[in-house]
Amino acid sequence: MAYRKIHDSFWTDPDIEDLTPEQRYFYLYLLTNPACNQIGLFEFSIRRAVFETGYNRETIEKLLDHFEAIGKIKMSEDTKEIVICKFYEHNKSNSPKVKTHVEQLISKVKDTALIEYVYGIDTVSVIRRRKEEEEEKEEEKLPSVKFDDEVVYTAILEAWNKIFESSARMTNNKRRQIRQRLKTFTPKEILLSMNNRSKDSWLQGEGSKFYSDWDSFFRNDEKIERYLLQKSNQYIKNQTNPFK
């Protein structure tokens, strides 16, 4: 059984004082859950969190979005890893055994871009260089994009900008995300899910900062599936469908 140090000043920290009781409880869960390790970087399971906290999936997703927005955590859409920012800073040890263990944990991190949030800004340039090299290698592995593929990608992006009144631009990362989502959903299903998302009451109110956040929607299949289940097809009826 692992033990996590929670200093009594936790409750008087200005950042914590500004949180709601629900947010404080969930942040404590992130700090002390069984998956959390010595560096505060671990694979996060929403399904497991639902079981352990008693919150439903939607509540947990909103809490994760909130803590990422205020800089308390950073998530990886590809590997489902999460890092609690500054966790390691408060749990450092001079023990050689602990340092060796930390190095082992770092070596197993799948999304190396998260490592900078473990160590801080001193290693940002090194990590960024490693990330750029990895992205270049990944680009070389990507199959060439066919014209008809690009038409679909562009149509999805244009639909997103129209629905959310945004000005997102096409990037290689967006192409990868769309390509991954199209393995599960049809273009029409993605369009319907986007429209349903635009009607979410939380996004129109307290969560308005995430309203046009592309990554929070396209990072995996979960958001698309959740909004697809909602019974709204107003946009499909009133707009020209670019996927006919």
Provide the β-strand partners of residue 122. Answer: none
In angstroms, the CA 219 to CA 209 distance is 17
* pLDDT of the residue at 100: 84
pLDDT-based confidence at 53, cuts 50/70/90? very high
* 126 vs 83 pLDDT, higher one: 83
Q: In this model, does residue 218 exceed pLDDT 50?
A: yes
pLDDT tens figures, 19-43 = 999 999 999 999 999 999 888 899 9
pLDDT-based confidence at 162, cuts 50/70/90? very high
What long-range pairs does 93-102 form, CB within 8 A, spacing at least 24? 98/38, 101/38, 102/38, 102/39
The class of domain 8-136 in CATH terms is mainly alpha
Q: In this model, does residue 232 exceed pLDDT 60?
A: no
* pLDDT of the residue at 210: 84
Q: In this model, does residue 69 exceed pLDDT 80?
A: yes
- E-assigned strands of the chain? 41-43, 73-75, 81-84
pLDDT-based confidence at 149, cuts 50/70/90? confident
Which part of the chain is CATH 1.10.10? 8-136
pLDDT, mean of residues 71-97 = 83
- State the amino acid at position 231 in one-letter form: K
pLDDT tens figures, 178-200 = 999 999 999 999 999 999 999 88
Q: In this model, does residue 239 exceed pLDDT 90?
A: no
Q: In this model, does residue 134 exceed pLDDT 60?
A: yes
Q: In this model, does residue 237 exceed pLDDT 50?
A: no
